[in-house]
Amino acid sequence: MASKSTTVGKIDDEVLAYTAGKDILLDRNLVREDCIGSAAHAVMLSRMPVKPAIITPAQVKKIIRTLKGIIAQHEAGKFKITPADQDVHLAVERALTRNLGDLGKKIHTGRSRNDQVALDLRLFAKPRLLDLIDGTAALAEVMNKLGKKHVKLPMVGRTHMQKAMPSSVGLWATGFTEVLLDDLELLKTAYALNNRCPLGAAAGFGVPLPIDRQLSSDLLGFEAPVHNVTHAVNARGKVESVILSACGQVMLSLSRLAQDLMLYTMPEFGYFTLPAAFCTGSSIMPNKRNPDVLELLRARASVVLAHAQTTLNILNGAPTGYNRDLQETKEPFMEGLALTAASVQISTRCLANIQVNRQALLDGFSPDVFATDRAIELVGQGIPFRDAYHQVKAHLDELEHIDPVEAIAKKTHLGTTAGLDFTAYSKQARAVRAWTAKQRQAFNRKIARLMA
């Protein structure tokens, strides 16, 4: 059986192909992160109080210069991760060693691929999560604007998809504003869990060297190190599953919004019209205008939710310490994050440009929609509610058509058609975006300083 000699010894070809799996491709997404993490580790090693120094400050400069070269090479599409590398970590070490000889061979002192990959994935997730949080807040604001603009525009409220009571476009739209604001809380929690540094945990048990984990964490702009080194490695996959679960909640909101839009843009309803760019045609039926984007939002919500479940299933029953199983959480994680970001972005564009059809919304009303309002009116005349209910029920065909604009104006209590606080919603969304701007700026500054 053929085998390859690798940085870590000879490995059987078939075993190498099977175990490296998709890492050779997926790890291309982690080259920059791996180099940044290596830079922080090198700086930390050079400041470690050991004699003789493992790496001198002058050598750190060389290492960082070489790491920047690797990033540049990668950005030019010229950095290769070969099957013999197995993954980005050994590819970067190989490149450092090729350039720097023995100095390159020192980079792995006091670290393991286990803390490295955990670090790379957290560095990968951080800016993406910030962008996703921003995007989700932007969509919440778009829905808020839509609601505010059409606060007085009636829309039939439905239960069981059947006509129920008078509602408004304002109430419908800001229902999505608020669920997205809830989703933002989940994303921010995921961000906070992700914002801890696993570097220096090594294989998960520490090393007999005075590793300064606080320094590594500070250099990389994390909130703090993960304290327990075993947990730092065990949390691999768990953090991803939390991020994916939050993404899944966002996707759930988008898919329900998409479902409403599919219904309400059907010609039979005509409440809304999708922007022309969002409709696709058919190869045979010249008349078709299909809501493909909305359908894919619905399906991709299922995909992201399944990815969250996949990572949880891989972790379920996993014993303490690194196990190669964890590698399989990488693909669902990367794809789930990317799908969610793209879905939020396209939803925002769609909703910012949706056409609202006043007449069709008004035409949706029929007298039965006012049945409950009528019963409440009778309550005002001193009739007990249950009696009023039966009275209206017995004479449904005698119900009068009420002006729905007046009907929705009469509901003034907290959070109903005439009791919505659009200002509070937009304040919340703007506060989130101010927070992401600060986080992003602080992170970018740290990385720029480290790599300078």
Catalytic site residues?
Answer: 160, 282
Tell the smallest beta-carbon distance from residue 324 to ligand ARG (Å): 6
Applying CB under 6 A, which part among 39-47, 186-194, 320-328, 421-429 lies near ligand ARG? Answer: 320-328
Q: Considering only residues 375 through 434, tell me which ones interact with ligand ARG, judged by CB under 6 A.
A: none
Supply the minimum distance, in Å, between the C-beta of residue 1 and ligand ARG: 21
Residue of 273, 327, 348, 428 interacting with ligand ARG (CB under 6 A):
327
Alpha carbon distance 191, 189 (integer Å): 5
| By the rule CB under 6 A, 365 interacts with ligand ARG | no
Residue for token pair 């390159």? 104
Tokens coding 329: 């959480």
Q: Which of 253, 246, 243, 251 is nearest to 126 (CA)?
A: 243
Q: Which of 260, 322, 334, 331 is nearest to 297 (CA)?
A: 260
| Closest CB to ligand ARG among residues 96, 169 | 96
* Number of residues in contact with ligand ARG under rule CB under 6 A: 10
Nearer to ligand ARG, 300 or 330 (CB): 330
Among 326, 341, 429, 450, binds ligand ARG (CB under 6 A): 326
Other CB atoms within 10 Å distance of the CB of residue 91:
25
Answer yes or no: are the C-beta atoms of 314 and 325 closer than 8 Å.
yes
Residues between 80 and 119 with contacts to ligand ARG, criterion CB under 6 A: 87, 113-114, 117
In which residue are the tokens 């299909």 written? 290
Least distance to ligand ARG, CB of residue 228, Å: 19
Query: Which residues, 184 to 213, sit near ligand ARG by CB under 6 A?
Result: none
HSE at residue 38, side-chain half, CA atoms within 13 A, is 32
Give least dist CB 335 to ligand ARG, A: 15
Q: Is 235 in the site for ligand ARG (CB under 6 A)?
A: no
Q: Is 23 a binder of ligand ARG (CB under 6 A)? A: yes
CB 155 within 8 A of CB 360: no
- Specify the residue, 64 or 95, whose C-beta has the smaller distance to ligand ARG: 95
Backbone angles phi, psi at 35, to 5 degrees: -70, -40
Please name the amino acid found at residue 212.
D
Contacts of 54 (CB under 8 A, 6+ apart): 45, 46, 48, 106, 109
Residue 153 engages ligand ARG in binding (rule: CB under 6 A) = no
Query: What would the two tokens of residue 83 be?
Result: 């099957």
What pairing do the DSSP bridges indicate for beta strands 154-159 and 162-168? antiparallel
For residue 368, give the DSSP letter. G
- SS3 of residue 168 by DSSP: strand
- Binding flags for ligand ARG, 329-358, as an x/- string (CB under 6 A): -x----------------------------
- 207 or 379: whose CB is closer to ligand ARG? 207
241 near ligand ARG, judged by CB under 6 A: no
Comparison of 124 and 278: residue with beta carbon closer to ligand ARG? 124
Q: Of 244-252, 325-333, 353-361, 364-372, which part binds ligand ARG (CB under 6 A)?
A: 325-333
Q: Identify which of residues 23 and 141 has a Cβ nearer to ligand ARG in the complex.
A: 23
Instruction: List the structure tokens of 55.
Output: 């790496």
Among 124, 191, 272, 322, binds ligand ARG (CB under 6 A): 322
Q: Which is nearer to ligand ARG, 114 or 136 (CB)?
A: 114
In the 3-class helix/strand/coil scheme, how is 286-307 assigned residue by residue?
A: CCCCECHHHHHHHHHHHHHHHH
Q: State the nearest-atom distance from the C-beta of 90 to ligand ARG, in Å.
A: 9
Distances from the Cα of 364 to the Cα of 111, 120, 358, 361, angstroms: 65, 53, 10, 5
Per-position b or e across 264-276, b if 16+ CB within 10 A of its CB: bbeeebebbbbee
Instruction: Please report how close the Cβ of residue 238 comes to ligand ARG at its closest, in angstroms.
Output: 14
Nearest-angstrom CA–CA distance, 265 and 313: 38
The least CB distance from residue 50 to ligand ARG, in Å, is: 25
CB of 203 to ligand ARG, least distance (A): 7
Which residues are at the interface with ligand ARG (CB under 6 A)? 23, 87, 113-114, 117, 322, 324, 326-327, 330
